[in-house]
Structure 1
Amino acid sequence: MTDDLITEDLLWPRYAGPSDLTEIESVPLAERGLPESTYAQLVRAAELWPDRTAVTMLPEAARWREPLRRSFAELLGDVHRYANLLHELGVRRDDAVALIAPNCAELIPATLAAQLAGIAAPINGGLSRRHIAELLRLTGARVLVAAGPELSDAVWDSVRALAVDGLLDAVLVLRPTAAAGEPQALQRIDGVRVEYLDESAAAHESAAFAGKTPVASDLAALFHTGGTTGVPKLAAHTHAGEVANAWMIAANSLFDEDSVVFAALPLFHVNALVVTLLAPLFKGQSVVWAGPLGYRDLAIYTEFWNIVEHYRLAAMSAVPTVYAVLAQCPVNADISSLRYAMVGASPLPPAVRENFELHTGITLVEGYGLTEATCASARSFPDLPRPHAVGQRLPYQHMKVVRADEVGTWVELSVGEVGVLVIGGPTVFAGYVIGRTEHGHVLDGMGTLVDGWLDTGDLAHIDEEGFIHLHGRAKDLIIRGGHNIDPAIIDDALLSHPKVAAACAVGRPDIHAGEVAVAYVTLVPGAAVTEAELLEWASRHVPERAAAPKTVTVLDALPVTDVGKPYKLGLRADATRRELLDALAEIAGVRNIAATVEDGAIVAIVELDPVGDEKTVAAILGRYAIEWKVEVPQ
């Protein structure tokens, strides 16, 4: 047997069920023969399957029959051309390249090229211009790959303003997938090179990269994630971490090289990069990419089952709100190919699971992960569902539940005990970017990393079979439809009102988005302002539309802990109670609704009269991703 065959055999152990984990880990990860970098991973795919379709990009959901296709060899050629252009522009190994655009055919090779020539820094174009500017400064990126006027007017307007402000040296512009006709003329900006990416790269070498290729320890990407300040934090990923996490996902024995993956999440999200771009490279799987709006394109829901049948989709990944909508869409096609529908990013309400599975016959498979652990850290198994768990840890990742003692030292808890979930292993990120010197980015764990372990901020327990059960979050992020919202930006907006003395934003359960932002405030002495006026103020001053609070409630005083810190759990409990008061207002026999904090999690308690409609109440409560119980006094 040749060395190549031995390596390939080691690359793919059996991984079909929970019992396979021990056997997988009996071989050290270093002996598995993983590629050194995301670039080496792409080169391997292009050598093994040069003519196989790697990317099928839909221009938009309504035009799903008119895709643009690229083979693995063509994708590698595009990456070489784009990376060589970046190299010509002066991008080197420690330089970041920012990318701001909706998904399109050119963004995929541009992202991989940024990781080849330097470090990719994807940015959500929906962030405020101020936040984008701060992220550009923090990354140090002077070259920006961005949506042009044909692809996104809003992004293009922001990008031009940033370039005029002197933040950029070059802007490489993207066109929509399969754009027809001549591109729109681009306005000149003094001192800034502005040109279409694909046109400018056309003259560059497609067979090889002219610069220094990355090694495992090099930084591959800087992903922004919610934090404790108004500006998102930048989590640094290494090539080794991204490749390892992609392999852990690709090792799933349910899928072979013929399995087709569907991708609709934006490429500024780690799931899109790791789960639907890097992982399929390992087995040469084809990926069908939705148009620029992804799951936000309403047409995708009327056409989705036809897309599944036409492209024989085997796997997809989405947030609970997507599955809630799909559960209402008539199944008018053969969807037997779809075997793996993964859900994550926010808690899965039981009713969403039940409705989707009853409607489609497809088991929803929960997963768990976070940007600071590269992407995915736990997976479930469709043939062995665990409705109350988010899955078993992935191979070579380590998990334990801890509680801080009186001096702040972590004490590991026993099986079944609730505490803070911490993660160790090869996918833990390198740290947050806190600055930049002539030697590259300066990284710091900022209290999140302790002796190599990542504090997830999530409350959980691990059962006797190693499955993880979440119990809410110790951290303060509000997760709306899988999108992280930093409550500090809402607090800051409300505190800018001259009559507000204190403000605290928290998440309120929502049947559609999983969670939405609401805010509580106190007023300066003698001030008079209505809650409606404060809500309107917040809608104008919160820099991100999705983060604007749904309600603003004025209190005499905000609850605080024993050490004087805001007691957000108490406010979240109040927000839960208020939501259920509205949701159950028309249900006869509801005597009382309360929400309490138990082991750091919010538990809703609904008390019914003996003649109350317990079945209807339970059905409504099941649509929320909360813990609840119904009590009927005897």
Structure 2
Amino acid sequence: MTATEQLLWPRADGPDDLAAIEQVPLAQRGLPATTHDLLRRAATCWPDRPAVTFLPDAERWQQPSTRTFARLLDDVERAASALRALRVGRQTPVALVSVNCEQMLTALLAAEVAGIAAPINPALRFEHAHPLLRRLNTPVIVAAGPELDPDAWELGRRLAAATPSAVLLALRPTAASGPPPQLEPVHDAFVAWFEKAVEDADAAPAALPPAAAEDLASCLHTGGTTGTPKLAARTHRNEITNAWMVAAATSLDADSSAFAALPLFHTNALVVTVLAALLRGQHVVWAGPLGYRDIPLYGVFWRLVERYRIGAMSAVPTVYAVLGQVPVDADISSLRYPVVGAAPLPPAVTEAFRDRTGLDLCEGYGLTEGTCASARNWPGAIRPGSVGQRMPYQQIRAIEIDETTGRWRFLPDGEIGTLVIRGPNVFAGYLTDSRDGLVADPGEKVRDGWLDTGDRGSVAADGYVTLAGRVKDLIIRGGHNIDPAAIEDVLLDHPAVTAAAAVGRPDPHAGEVPIAYVQLADGASVTTDELRAWAATRVPEPAAVPKQVEIVDAIPLTIVGKPFKPELRRRAAEDAARDALRGRTDDVHAHLHDGEVVVETSGISERDAHEALSPYSIRWRLR
């Protein structure tokens, strides 16, 4: 390893290396400044090495499409030139409304090279996606074409029809064969196939105005906590430095690959399996458009690991819960770094995956406003109950917020409080409405460089972080953030409902599922099934449909009259535990401890309680 490589890649084998890494200022590490610089570096260092392999779908896993680093750079630069020809400037967001495919990756990276990438969940309903597009103030939409995802294509068409002077580009499936179908016109919009627009563009990479490290690279929508999801704006510096932090801790050999199946509108996919892999020159194998929702994938997964020597993967707990039940039918000795995050990790999932593979899941922690990752466990040095050690060049502290003055007080090591993060990964802010172009404003989310995560936890002296519940009310279903306000607003529109509150109920498969409590007007007559059906046709996306709606006499309130969500989460956890223990014991009680739900039960053995409750991400104990 040359001196330059040693500076870029310091020893990072475990938690004891953190102090030595931080002795060298990050600015001296020699990181690329922008996504474009990163792509050029990869193409120069490893021109003929496989960069990305896309599977058309799980059933055709032996018919992949592979591109080298040099080919990937060429494709992205050509696509960036095409976007420039369509009036995408440095401050122009490009809305990307698509499931994963080979062209989606090209379009995403090209958007960062030419302007700003703004991927949008293609499962959102039009009335929730359209406000995001208005705030982005962009006429350029890249959407999954009719062959790839008919529903996403219809959403893209509706968005284009509602956007003045819109440009709508359609993506084809990976390894599509034959000529594409004719695209129907959309009012005054310019409609074309993405690949045709790229072919027609003058490929002149040198003409692409270079971005600066502080320019915006992406705007990703968050789960939000009130109303329309917020658009979190991140700079090239945010993305590159956070990707380096991830890559520095992934000490895999040059022949190892990574597996990717999370959607590209999610920050984990962008930072961990795109940018971090580009820094390391690592081959990434991508699942088909359904990702981990492609059921046949699990039947061939271990053979994929063997064929591509997959060393690292990133998924949510529900994925590992399934893999823990799949017999290993191949050599998976290359797999060393199975990373899990985005949702609470039930103990039973960890145990089943370890029993099946001999590997410990490496839990991590992060959020979109922190670009992606802020803490992770180390293979071989897992600290049970912790989401891992803070990443280099990031600071994580716990604070206490004075409810009267709003002042922060930093807490000693090990004390529980609200977690705050400071570092080069802290985002530029949320996009705000402005006639002067894009404006990113962190508002009260960032104070003196410290990002308020909205999560509660503690930080040990050696930087290990332990979570202790959420201050914010997001429901996390299978790693997907759901804004409870989106459910509550829909239920409040029902003429019989006077109050509504949605929370997550622990679930052995999805981690959490949304449920809702409602209070009815005097004399109102409506059933829970009718209320659930009402919500099902109006919430922003299918994942937000409440699994159940419960009518209550009164919703518990705080002293200032807001719904007291911790009490509702306690009820939900108690009900879930009671269902799990049905037939074993009826003695179940849950209480709140420092904002966290603890389930207590008796009249049952430790073994039976563990068997019933360990699939759930709730704390429990016998009494």
TM tier, shorter chain?
over 0.9
Give % identity. 54
Once residues 519 and 203 of structure 1 are traced to their aligned partners in structure 2, the CA distance between those partners, rounded to angstroms, is 51
Residue 613 (structure 2) aligns with: 621
Residue number among 481, 484, 489 corresponding to 1:487 in the alignment: 484
Q: Point out the more displaced range, 529-538 or 342-351.
A: 529-538
The answer to whether the 8 A contact 2:255-2:309 is kept is no
CA distance in 2, matches of 1:582, 1:156: 41
Distance in 2 (CA, whole Å) between partners of 1:214 and 1:580 is: 53
The aligned residue for residue 74 of structure 1 is: 71
**Aligned ranges for residues 26-425 of structure 1 at < 5 Å?**
26-167=23-164, 169-206=166-203, 208-252=205-249, 254-405=251-402, 406-425=404-423
CA contact (8 A) 1:262 1:316 kept: yes
The answer for the alignment partner of 2:597 in structure 1 is 602
Residue 7 of structure 1 deviates from its aligned partner by: 3.1
Provide Cα deviations, 1:173-210, integer angstroms capped at 9, x if missing partner: 11000101110111122321111111221143446242
Unaligned 5+ runs, structure 1: none
Q: Secondary structure at the match of 2:587?
A: strand
| Displacement after TM superposition at 1:475 (Å) | 0.4
2:49–2:69: 8 Å Cα contact kept in structure 1?
yes
In the aligned structure 1, how far is the partner of 2:67 from the partner of 2:537?
A: 43
Partner SS, residue 541 of structure 1:
coil
Once the two structures are TM-superposed, the CA of residue 230 in structure 1 deviates from its matched residue by 2.5
CA distance in 1, matches of 2:204, 2:65: 22
| Distance across 2 between alignment mates of 1:255 and 1:171 | 40
CA distance in 1, matches of 2:52, 2:606: 50
* Distance of 2:63 and 2:523 partners within structure 1: 63
**What residue number does 1:459 align with?**
456
Over residues 563-614 of structure 1, what are the superposed CA-to-partner deviations in whole Å (9 max), with x where a residue is unaligned? 2221000000001111111111111xx2521111111111111122xxx333
Partner AA of 1:118 in structure 2:
G
* 1:380-437 superposed Cα distances (whole Å, 9 cap, x missing partner): 0111111210000000011000011242111111122111110001000011011233
Task: Output the aligned Cα RMSD.
Answer: 1.3
Structure 1 residues 323-367: Cα deviation after superposition (integer angstroms, max 9, x where no partner)? 000111111111111111000000100110001011111221111
Q: CA separation of 1:554/1:446 partners in 2, compared to 1, >3 Å: closer, same or farther?
A: farther
2:534 — aligned with what? 537
Shift of 1:5: 4.6
Q: Which residue of 1 aligns with 2:514?
A: 517
Q: 2:468 aligns with which of 468, 471, 480?
A: 471
Specify the SS of the correspondent of 1:202.
helix
**Aligned to 2:205, what secondary structure does the other structure show?**
coil
Distance 2:160 2:194 in 1: 16
Aligned AA (1:596): H
Question: Aligned with 1:106: secondary structure?
Answer: helix
Q: Distance in 1 between matches of 2:101 and 2:375?
A: 29
Query: What is the aligned length?
Result: 622
Q: Retained in 2: the 8 A contact 1:80–1:205?
A: no
Equivalents in 1 of 2:578, 2:186: separation in Å?
55
Q: Which amino acid aligns with 1:208?
A: P
**Superposition deviation, residue 167 in structure 1:** 4.7
2: CA distance, partners of 1:207 / 1:357? 51
SS in structure 2 at match of 1:488: helix
Distance 1:313 1:253, change over 3 A: closer
Q: Give the alignment partner of residue 425 of structure 2, picking from 405, 424, 427.
A: 427
Please give the alpha-carbon distance, in whole angstroms, between the structure 2 residues aligned to 1:622 and 1:190.
54
Q: TM-score, normalised by structure 2?
A: 0.98
Pair 501,209 (structure 1): closer, same or farther in 2 beyond 3 Å = farther
Deviation at 1:87, TM superposition (A): 0.5
Alpha-carbon distance, 1:252 to partner? 2.0
